[in-house]
Structures are given as C-alpha cells and as structure tokens.
C-alpha cells in the first residue's frame, strides 16, 4: 500500500501520514494495515464534517505518527473545554498505558517523567488539558550465527488490566462519570 492511497473521496493516506519531521529524520511513518483501517474510519468521519461545513475544503495537518516519530516530536493529547470528572480521563488513560506503554508503569525512571499534565482553567466549569506521554518503542538486537545484527521492533506486551472488561463503567460515588466498550483486540 502506498501513502497516496485514497481513504475516502476527499482524503488520502498521504495527508494523514505526511510529516516533514519524519522526512528530516528519515523515519518511516507508514502505518500498519490495522492503523490504515482506523484512519479510513477517521476520514469517513471527516467527510461528515465536510457535509456539515457545506463541502468546505479541509486541510489535514496530522493524522498519524508512528511510535518513533511520536517520540521524536513529543506526543501530546489536548482536551479543550472539558467539564467532566478527572477520573473519566485518568482511568481510561492508565488503562491504555497499562496495555500499550507498560514501561511507563514498570520503569522507575519513566514513572517519574513519563506522564505529564498541563491544565489551564478556563472558568469555574471547564479546563483545557494537555497530556504528555513519553512513548517508548521496544527494540531487540541479536547477533545472528553469521555475525550480522538482526533488529526487531516487537509489539508491547499485551497485558489485560484486571478492571478491563468488554463494557465498563466508572463511578464517582453514585455518579456515573464514564462508560465505554473495550474491543476484544486492543490493536
């Protein structure tokens, strides 16, 4: 699959994976097929947004970064005008970290700096929240019998947290603060 693959009528895979930084650092930012399927779903959603905007052109500046590129640029998620319970974000974030970035919990040094937050209080009801993660990528290098070095990038260990179920809910006292469905395959 090439990076110019159409995802929908108006969006291409190249738009979602284009990165000057990846080119500069010679990082291959080509997503795996499972990621492409998710980008296709995102592009379909963007088509709905285009309809709401009466067909206005949209420019995609970022849609996907591979783990190596995310580390190079420093990954962050930004949530604006949030008025919900902090636990709704934290429980979901830590559940994801426990499955996909286990080192942030297991490594003592990464535990100190691996997850960071910046909070801007907009008013008495809402905040803007920036979550910064120091993402890791496992690399295994082994010397083969012929003397060459073989490099592999294995997937993160897929540990399932004890509180993960196909459908779960988070409560603060008697108040439901979040609920969601966890897919059987976390990929």
Whether residue 83 is found in the same domain as residue 171: yes
Q: Looking at the structure, tell me whether residues 45 and 33 fall in a common domain.
A: yes
Same domain, 118 and 32: no
Closest to 157 (Cα-Cα) out of 106, 86, 90, 83: 106
End of a domain among 73, 97, 116?
A: 73
Mean pLDDT taken over the chain: 80
Q: Report residue 67: phi and psi, to 5°.
A: -55, -40
Tens digit of each residue's pLDDT (9 = 90 or more) over 128-175: 888 888 776 667 778 888 888 887 777 666 565 555 556 777 787 888
Shared domain for 44 and 94, answered yes or no, is no
The residue out of 27, 45, 73 marking a domain boundary is: 73
99-115 pLDDT per residue, tens: 778 888 888 888 888 88
88 or 40, which is more confident:
40
- Domain assignment present for residue 186? The answer is no
Quick check: is 173 in a domain?
yes
61: buried, middle or exposed (CB in 10 Å: 19+, 13-18, 0-12)? exposed
Instruction: Write down the pTM of the prediction.
Output: 0.46
Q: Which pLDDT score, from 0 to 100, does residue 158 have?
A: 59
Domain that holds residue 123: 74-181
Could you read off the pLDDT of 78-103 as tens digits, one per residue? 788 888 887 888 888 887 787 778 88
- The string of pLDDT tens digits covering residues 2-35 is 547 899 999 999 988 988 888 888 999 999 898 8
């Amino acid at each position: 699959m090439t990076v110019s693959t159409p995802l929908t009528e108006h969006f291409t895979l190249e738009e979602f994976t284009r990165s000057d930084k990846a080119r500069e650092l010679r990082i291959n930012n080509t997503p795996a097929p499972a990621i492409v399927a998710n980008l296709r779903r995102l592009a379909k959603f963007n088509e709905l947004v285009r309809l709401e905007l009466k067909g206005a052109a949209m420019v995609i500046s970022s849609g996907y970064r591979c783990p190596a590129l995310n580390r190079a640029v420093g990954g962050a998620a930004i949530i604006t005008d949030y008025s919900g319970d902090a636990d709704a974000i934290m429980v979901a974030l830590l559940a994801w970290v426990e499955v996909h970035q286990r080192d942030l919990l297991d490594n003592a040094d990464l535990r100190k700096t691996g997850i960071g937050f910046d909070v801007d209080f907009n008013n008495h009801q809402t905040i803007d929240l920036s979550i910064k993660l120091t993402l890791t990528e496992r690399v295994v290098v082994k010397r083969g019998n012929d003397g060459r070095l073989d490099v592999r990038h294995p997937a993160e260990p897929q540990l399932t947290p004890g509180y993960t179920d196909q459908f779960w809910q988070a409560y603060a006292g008697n108040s439901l603060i979040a609920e969601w469905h966890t897919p059987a395959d976390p990929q």
